[in-house]
Amino acid sequence: MFATLVVSACAPLLAPPAAPTLDPGTLNTIIAQTAGAAATQTALVSPPTSTLIPTPTLLIATTATEIPSLTPTFIFVLRTPTKPRPTATASRRDAKYACEVLSQMPEDNVVLSPGTVFVVRWQVKNTGVREWDGDNMDYRFLSGAALHKKSAYDLYKTVPVGGTADIIVDMQAPDNPDTYSTTWYLRVGKNGFCNMRLIIVVE
């Protein structure tokens, strides 16, 4: 037995078998197969990815409706016109009291100095249908500048229809330069008629 061990020890050691050599093409094929298998296993293991299905949105098409504007309506209530009664116009023949101014002294627009005292005279004619009773008729200041010294005078005589009378008034020009107008009239009872006007210029 000892001899056998010695012989074995003296025998040359056997070289290990050489590792197999892979050519490049074979190596690429193995890598590709390995990658494919790994991808297949990953696909089998990985849970399926859920795909979101979009929820349909209901679109309601609205049509704009035009709102009519309120237009104010005006209602005019027209009264039925009442036919006016004819106004009686007194003529010279049928007027109860009427006159016509025949002349005036001084004439209108006479120029007077401030403070001048003067007399105005109107000659008037009775053109009415009744005489002017001197006891019941007078002449008075009506409107305008108060140039007079007295505001009323009695008619000094009775004037028949068609007759004339002189209406005389004492007056005085104002102190301030200007143009002045004064109006007088005849009156019987409460009725007035026959307006007489005078215009003077004070300079």
Taking the C-alpha atoms of residue 52 and residue 59, their distance in angstroms, rounded to an integer, is 21
Q: What is the mean pLDDT of residues 130-141?
A: 95
**How many other C-beta atoms are found inside a 10 Å radius of the C-beta of residue 167?**
21
Closest CA to 132 of 154, 152, 159, 153: 159
Question: Count of CB atoms within 10 A of residue 118's CB?
Answer: 16
For each of the domains in the chain, give its residue range(s) and CATH number, in order of start: 99-202 (2.60.40.10)
Q: Decide if 158 contacts 133 (C-beta within 8 A).
A: yes
In the sheet with 178-188, reading across from the earlier edge strand, the strands are 110-112, 191-202, 178-188, 137-144, 152-154
pLDDT tens figures, 76-115? 444 544 444 433 333 344 479 999 999 999 999 999 999 9
* pTM value surpassing 0.75: no
**pLDDT tens sequence across 153-186:** 999 999 999 999 999 999 999 999 999 999 999 9
d(CA 131, CA 123): 16
Strands 117-126 and 152-154: unpaired
The overall average pLDDT reported for the chain is: 73
Report how far apart, in Å, the C-alpha atoms of 16 and of each of 6, 13, 74 are: 22, 9, 125
- Placement of tokens 């002349």 in the chain: 103
Confidence of residue 47 (pLDDT cuts 50, 70, 90): very low
pLDDT of residue 12: 44
Altogether, the residues listed in the chain come to a count of 203
